[in-house]
Structure 1
Amino acid sequence: MENPKFLFLGLIMIFIVSSTTKLVRCKTLESPQYTVVHSESDFEVRFYRDSAWMTAPTDEISFQKATRDGFHRLFQYIEGANLNYSGISMTVPVLTSIVPGAGPLHSSAYFVKFYLPTKFSAIPPLALPELNLRPDSWKSRCIAIRKFSGFARDSNIVKEAEKLALSLSKSPWANSTSKDSGYAYSIAQYNSPLRFIGRVNEVWVDVSEPDKDSCKSRLVAEF
């Protein structure tokens, strides 16, 4: 017969895990709106609507260090380090955009971006000057996406970007990578560093339509 003490502790743990799961499901974080316009087994193309971001430029050589430094400043901003003293809800994803260059990770600089909730998109609170942040308004655009799990690190982001490039080369979006954004690619991270299981990351690359029309004309599934 099982020890009643251990049985009781086990029931408590099940209750805690169950309650935590429900809380996580209920607390959905705001994210930029998009529509899927093309989907394959290893990538998809999304049409993103206009959105507003706050950007932290950083000249760190390491992707991981750049993301950590940029997000630290952005976190201060959303916690009230702005001229309005406004608290801003956490959103997803945290986006690290890589400027193409000759660096060890095919980069010359990084821009870490925080998606601003809709209520702040028109007039974002101004960041304190010492944080060195700047607002960034995005016009609607098409973005090719490749998902990958685990942690986004210096050791794997280039490989994931190369896999996306290979997939695009065999698709209707071959030779349609857009240079308008000025970024080689971006890494989107959706989870807290404290989460170790079921992590979701994405490689983002701006693409343009083969014809002159917007990719809105190719809608296949709406979210």
Structure 2
Amino acid sequence: MNRSLCLLALVALLGITMPVYGTLVPDKRPWFCHGLDCPKYKVVETTDAYEVREYKEAVWATTTVETYNYAMASSIGFKRLFDYIGGSNKDEVKIPMTAPVLADVEPSQGPFCKQTFTISFFVPFHFHDAPPSPNNPDITITCTPAFTAYVSESGGFKLDDYSLGKMASALGDALDADGHEYEDDHYYVAGYDPPFRFKDRHTEIWFKAKTDDDSVISGAIAEE
């Protein structure tokens, strides 16, 4: 019987030896992943305003940042995680870049209040069964169970807090109009492009369906 992806990752991180009964083979990647490994999903509904996607379970490297805006949080979180994939891990291995860079955004209570951002890199499929343990204690390897997301898409460079909030509000309005229940106290920003890509840019806003587990960070499976 195949072990679940999350169990395999947990066993590997705890140093327990057990047989591996197969590897996860990625499906055809969406164009906006640009050939990089990215989470598997199935589109179950498409409207003019959003897609409904069913995401499969996945493994992420995750760090939490408390600061005043998305730009600062993404910069701090990206640096931590980029060091991890660059070799700052127990195995001292370089891990390929993936997509998206995912930010879980909890809106602030006011303009002078800090926000909590959870920044995550998707762990490549090759490392899903045994993700290297981070050297940085601020990074956690997490496993998300399968979940449903409502996703809106955008291009361009407008990734400031106002623009992202406006995109999230528009998606929320569309979901409310269609009677969907979703977690409205936070949303995700999925960025697929490096700063030097000037065309065919792709950014997404995700709301999770309310019946699913809470957030990426709720799936923590190991912490050294």
TM-score, reference length from structure 1: 0.74
Aligned ranges for residues 48-59 of structure 1 at < 5 Å? Answer: 48-59=55-66
Out of 182, 207, 221, the position equivalent to 1:177 is: 182
Aligned ranges for residues 86-125 of structure 1 at < 5 Å? Answer: 86-104=93-111, 108-125=115-132
1:150 shift after superposition? 1.2
The aligned counterpart of 1:133 is 139
1:143 aligns with 2:149: yes
The aligned counterpart of 2:205 is 203
* Greater than 4 Å deviation, 4+ residue runs: none
The aligned counterpart of 1:221 is none
The CA distance in 2 between the partners of 1:38 and 1:172, in whole Å, is: 14
1:101 shift after superposition? 4.1
1:77 aligns with 2:84: yes
1:184 shift after superposition? 0.4
The CA distance in 1 between the partners of 2:102 and 2:197, in whole Å, is: 17
1:197 shift after superposition? 2.2
Q: How many residues align?
A: 180
Equivalent residue of 2:161, what SS? coil
The CA distance in 2 between the partners of 1:147 and 1:106, in whole Å, is: 28
The CA distance in 1 between the partners of 2:162 and 2:210, in whole Å, is: 29
Q: Label 1:63 to 1:109 Cα distance change in 2 as closer, same or farther (>3 A).
A: same
Equivalent residue of 2:74, what SS? helix
**Per-residue Cα deviation, 1:101-154 (whole angstroms, up to 9, x for no partner):** 414399730011000011212321111136x20111100000000101112222
Contact residue 67 and residue 114 of structure 2 kept, 8 A: no
The aligned counterpart of 1:46 is 53
Q: Label 1:37 to 1:136 Cα distance change in 2 as closer, same or farther (>3 A).
A: same
Q: Label 1:115 to 1:105 Cα distance change in 2 as closer, same or farther (>3 A).
A: farther
The aligned counterpart of 1:188 is 190
Contact residue 100 and residue 107 of structure 1 kept, 8 A: no
Paired-residue identity, %: 28
Amino acid at match of 1:177: Y
1:198 shift after superposition? 2.1
Equivalent residue of 2:148, what SS? strand
Aligned ranges for residues 148-167 of structure 1 at < 5 Å? Answer: 148-151=154-157, 152-167=159-174
- After superposition, the CA RMSD in angstroms is 2.3
The CA distance in 1 between the partners of 2:126 and 2:203, in whole Å, is: 26
Contact residue 62 and residue 154 of structure 1 kept, 8 A: yes
**Structure 1: runs of 5 or more not aligned:** 1-23, 210-223
Structure number with the higher helix fraction is 1
Select the structure of larger CA radius of gyration: 1
